[in-house]
Chains A and B, each alone.
Chain A
Amino acid sequence: MNDNEHILKHIAKEASAGYDRKIMDYIHNAATHGLYEIRGMGAKRALPNFDDLVLLGASLSRYPLEGYREKCATKTILGTRFASKPIELEIPITIAGMSFGALSANVKESLGRAATELGTSTTTGDGGMTAEERQSSKTLVYQCLPSRYGFNPDDVRRADAIEIVIGQGAKPGGGGMLLGQKISPRVAKMRTLPEGIDQRSACRHPDWTGPDDLVIKIQELREMTDWEKPIYIKVGATRTFHDVKLAVHAGADVIVVDGMQGGTAATQTCFIEHVGIPTLAALRQAVDALEDLNMKGKVQLIISGGVRTGADVAKALAMGADAVAIGQGVLYALGCNHDAYTLDGLVHSACNDYANLGTAAGFCHHCHTGRCPVGITTQDEQLAQRLMPDLGAKRLKNYLKTLNMELTTLARACGKQNVHHLEREDLAAMTIEAAAMARLPLAGTDWIPGF
């Protein structure tokens, strides 16, 4: 082989950075179908996240608590601003809103049971409240979404708190799309739509258009419930500093900020990957806004979007959140992307089912198809049997319990008797990006980029 042939061979194998395999597939698909991709779950791209922070455990300058002996309180109270009946939770880890329709009824029941056993809350989703989830959830947050599918005053009265959803971290500014294959007779009835059609969800509420209207909308919900229930406002993370300020102005008791790592049942991939800001950045902006208004602690803050572990929870609390909400982590705990499921006490392989979807365990993001191999995001009666409420509740309870144990262990290591005493002082950043976004010093320095 002469020199020229060597060079040509090398060039033949050199991938283009701008047009890699992924972007080529995207262009080939767009050219073939003339359609954008709709999929479930959250962003696949690497984003700065809680792993880019570390907790500064106590040594000499701080005094730790005995990990296996001393108690660390986790009680969390939400909605103390106006509501006469604030929410009292045993742990600061809540379950994020996910709809019946996106999830099976068995899963909704599993969420309620696990949350109740651990003394935390679960949340409805687009599509309304099911009897099973109300019955199984001691504390249930009822979402008021732009689509208003299944929204009704009886359920408002039966809820423990009301969450006005303005946006989701996976798709700020966008509506949803529940594809026809997931529209069972029950889902269709709850949403007052024909069976089998692709259901578009609106991106903005039908009866208010801006923050000044929202003030009155919130008053309506308060009047409607005699000022008993906390009102949450959930925003997708984008211009979070201003959005949080406006939510406070509108009268929120609790603000939920959902970062870019948040999941969805189904939306355009271009939204999931390209709209919004990472959870770290959003959390810092939200806390800044509350501090700026002197409302920190008066309006509680829930952060969601890529909270996966007890360490993530500890770091979120240290950054200034009062609680976290978990969606995707909950689905994984239930068995999402597992290679097997349990039916009638026997373990079965799900590998063929993943293969039929064109994917494999560990890579699946096919919630929008309704053919979930492990029975979570489906309305197919047979597939839904693959996750019965007993098993779902047990797995989820174990997961949340583990997170809480990790949270308290880490808090004690930082010398805290109460997880809500974790503070920014307890954190450092591992990367310059995380340091800049979270406004924390780079580990081992006192340097905060930009400050």
Chain B
Amino acid sequence: MDSLSFDLAATPLRDLNRFLHKEAVAQGVRQVTVLHPDGAHNIAVGLNAPVAVEIEGHAGYYAAGMLKLGEVTIHGNAGTGVAENMMSGKVHVKGFASVSAGASAHGGLLVVDGDTSLRCGISLKGGDIVVGGSVGSFSGFMAQAGRMVICGNAGDALGDSLYEAVIYVRGRIKSLGADARIEEMTESDYQAVGELLAAAGFSYDPHEFKRVASAKSLYHWNADANQEY
């Protein structure tokens, strides 16, 4: 047996997650299809096995949260905190994603074909996020490491209090957050954007993107930075 279906209309979510955590590898299951997710929360959280999970519909909060191994594809929209704190692997949302997509992710790749809401990539710690559409305000807030590629527009306060993470934006930026600035794209930036777009399945020209990174003026406590922190 290398594939299996779980119908959440008939099977409790706990059975699915328990199977993914404890039995999938032992039973040699490589692909799990989740039917009738209907916005259920916490689908495939903590996945740590080389399993491809296909969610056939909309997922609720924290789908694929803390993913370590495996790939999760959501054939619909995703709720709050999709792929939050993921460590590696890949999560692909075919629709739109709600707030805090990819929050504090350490590694791996999150792809959202549509738009994401507020705080996409908040506290990012090393993962890559590629958004086919636009992102809401406060995206990349306090992002520490990793990369975000935004093919559409960005809302207010993009990259507020960024550390070492880099954000590439193709469309308009409504406003930059504290300490964020637009910098020259270098050859390595074009290459990075090209690779990330290819991995996400988008064909935009990297030369259309601009780079947003930290001005690093808030790296050390600064008496003159009143209200900037």
Bound CA span A200–B164, Å: 14
Which of B17-25, B147-155, B169-177, B191-199 is found at the contact surface with chain A?
Answer: B17-25
Bound CA span A220–B144, Å: 24
Asked if A224 is an interface residue, CB under 8 A from chain B, the answer is yes
- Assess the B18–A226 pair: CB atoms within 8 A: yes
Asked if A217 is an interface residue, CB under 8 A from chain B, the answer is yes
- Assess the A217–B62 pair: CB atoms within 8 A: yes
Which of A19-27, A60-68, A104-112, A202-210 is found at the contact surface with chain B?
Answer: A202-210
- Assess the A208–B80 pair: CB atoms within 8 A: yes
Bound CA span A197–B164, Å: 12
A192/B144 contact (C-beta < 8 A), A207-B103, A220-B42 known? yes
Most buried by B among A34, A35, A192: A192
- Assess the B46–A224 pair: CB atoms within 8 A: yes
Asked if B61 is an interface residue, CB under 8 A from chain A, the answer is yes
Partner of A226 from B17, B41, B65, B125 at Cβ < 8 Å: B17
Asked if A179 is an interface residue, CB under 8 A from chain B, the answer is yes
Give the residues from 74 to 110 in chain B that come closer than 8 angstroms, CB to CB, to chain A: 80-81, 84-85, 87, 100, 103-104, 106
Which chain B residues border A192 with CB–CB below 8 Å? 106, 125-126, 144-145
Which of A150-158, A256-264, A398-406, A431-439 is found at the contact surface with chain B?
Answer: A150-158
Bound CA span A148–B81, Å: 14
Bound CA span A398–B42, Å: 44
Bound CA span A34–B223, Å: 6
Which chain B residues border A151 with CB–CB below 8 Å? 85, 104
Cβ distance B47 to chain A, nearest Cβ, rounded Å: 9
Give the residues from 139 to 153 in chain A that come closer than 8 angstroms, CB to CB, to chain B: 147-148, 151-153
Which chain A residues border B106 with CB–CB below 8 Å? 152, 192
- Assess the A207–B163 pair: CB atoms within 8 A: no
A198/B221 contact (C-beta < 8 A), A148-B104, A152-B106, A206-B123 known? yes
Which chain A residues border B145 with CB–CB below 8 Å? 192
- Assess the B220–A148 pair: CB atoms within 8 A: no
Asked if A227 is an interface residue, CB under 8 A from chain B, the answer is yes
Bound CA span A220–B41, Å: 8
Q: Which residue of A lies closest to B219 (CB)?
A: A197
Bound CA span A216–B45, Å: 12
Give the residues from 49 to 74 in chain A that come closer than 8 angstroms, CB to CB, to chain B: none
Bound CA span A202–B160, Å: 12
Question: Number of A interface residues, CB 8 Å?
Answer: 36
- Assess the A219–B42 pair: CB atoms within 8 A: yes
Bound CA span A238–B13, Å: 36
- Assess the B68–A154 pair: CB atoms within 8 A: yes
Most buried by B among A193, A198, A220, A224: A220
Which chain B residues border A297 with CB–CB below 8 Å? none
- Assess the B21–A33 pair: CB atoms within 8 A: no
- Assess the B163–A193 pair: CB atoms within 8 A: yes
Cβ distance A124 to chain B, nearest Cβ, rounded Å: 15
A223/B161 contact (C-beta < 8 A), A207-B80, A216-B60 known? no
Partner of B68 from A35, A153, A177, A179 at Cβ < 8 Å: A153
Cβ distance B23 to chain A, nearest Cβ, rounded Å: 11
A148/B221 contact (C-beta < 8 A), A194-B163, A225-B46 known? no
Which chain A residues border B103 with CB–CB below 8 Å? 148, 206-207
Cβ distance B20 to chain A, nearest Cβ, rounded Å: 10
Asked if B14 is an interface residue, CB under 8 A from chain A, the answer is yes
- Assess the A153–B104 pair: CB atoms within 8 A: no
A177/B221 contact (C-beta < 8 A), A216-B60, A223-B17, A223-B45 known? yes
- Assess the B81–A208 pair: CB atoms within 8 A: yes
Bound CA span A216–B48, Å: 21
- Assess the A153–B66 pair: CB atoms within 8 A: yes
- Assess the A227–B123 pair: CB atoms within 8 A: no
Cβ distance A384 to chain B, nearest Cβ, rounded Å: 24
- Assess the B161–A224 pair: CB atoms within 8 A: no
Bound CA span A82–B81, Å: 24
User: What are 14 A-B contacts defined by CB distance under 8 Å?
Assistant: A34-B224, A152-B106, A153-B87, A157-B46, A179-B221, A191-B144, A194-B163, A197-B163, A198-B220, A206-B141, A207-B81, A217-B62, A220-B62, A224-B17
Known: A157-B46, A224-B45. 14 other contacts (CB 8 A): A152-B87, A192-B126, A198-B220, A202-B123, A206-B119, A206-B123, A207-B103, A216-B80, A219-B42, A223-B42, A224-B17, A224-B46, A224-B65, A226-B17
